[in-house]
A and B are shown apart, each in its own frame.
Chain A
């Protein structure tokens, strides 16, 4: 029904004072994993390493602090809702509740 494999990306700054420490990373991976699209994240303010957004261990390598700009890329059928959910999660400073609309299958 949706157009074959699509690729969507966004760039967004980390707003919370603590940066992407363990808990935000876990939350990000939780949300990313609800989508079938592949998710990759690059810290454009860091060493530009592209990591798997569904791997908590890889996400810990981003070293993203407050103000770091992340590029989030999604590839696959549900890439668009994935990017919407993940960007609103980051925007909210990884607070609970806000971005819960991840469209369960």
Chain B
């Protein structure tokens, strides 16, 4: 699985407007809806599900990265996007540090293996300090996608 095929380039947000966690989740979902990746009328449903999920346990894995993810019956295919905040957002992360990179993964309810494989791939990349640092610095959609394509190439 290539991350560059999973991440929907046009939905990326190189500089998030929202400064709080719930706002960031909504902003990313709205961007996916604007780009036709999820149904417009499901944005709020999926947002609520993502917020509930975060309240049960943060997806802020530490080191400035959060990976909010939702499995929902209204989603027809797996899709991911990335938002970047240069100011940092409080995600109640494991290490209590602000989050600068948010990778959001949406999956249909009936594809758990695919979902797990996508998560594995996302975390394999995020593992690398260089990848995290460059991702945090990448301030355009092109820069972010180039970085991901490079990581795809060095990984397979």
Contacts and interface: CB of A to CB of B under 8 A. Distances in A.
Contacts of A57: 61-63, 65, 123, 126-127
Given A56-B62, A56-B94, A57-B63, A22 B120 contact: no
B123 A19 contact: no
Nearest to B117: A63
Interface string B46-68: 00000000001111011101010
Contacts of B57: 22-23, 26-27
Nearest to A65: B116
B69 A63 contact: no
B74 interface: no
Interface residues on B, range: 10 to 19
A46 B128 CA distance: 21
Given A60-B123, A63-B117, A23 B94 contact: no
Interface string B102-118: 00000000000000110
A39 interface: no
A11 interface: no
A79 interface: no
Nearest to B58: A26
Contacts of A61: 120, 123-124, 127
A22 B126 CA distance: 15
Main secondary structure of the interface of A (DSSP, over half): helix
B119 interface: yes
Interface in A1-41: 19, 21-23, 26-27, 29-30
A5 B74 CA distance: 52
A60 B61 contact: yes
Contacts of B123: 57-58, 60-61
Interface of B: 56-59, 61-63, 65, 67, 69, 94, 116-117, 119-120, 123-124, 126-127
Given A21-B116, A26-B58, 10 more contacts: A22-B119, A55-B62, A56-B61, A57-B62, A57-B65, A57-B127, A60-B61, A61-B124, A61-B127, A63-B116
17 contacts: A21-B116, A22-B59, A22-B61, A22-B119, A26-B57, A26-B61, A27-B57, A29-B94, A30-B94, A55-B62, A57-B61, A57-B123, A57-B127, A58-B123, A60-B61, A61-B124, A65-B116
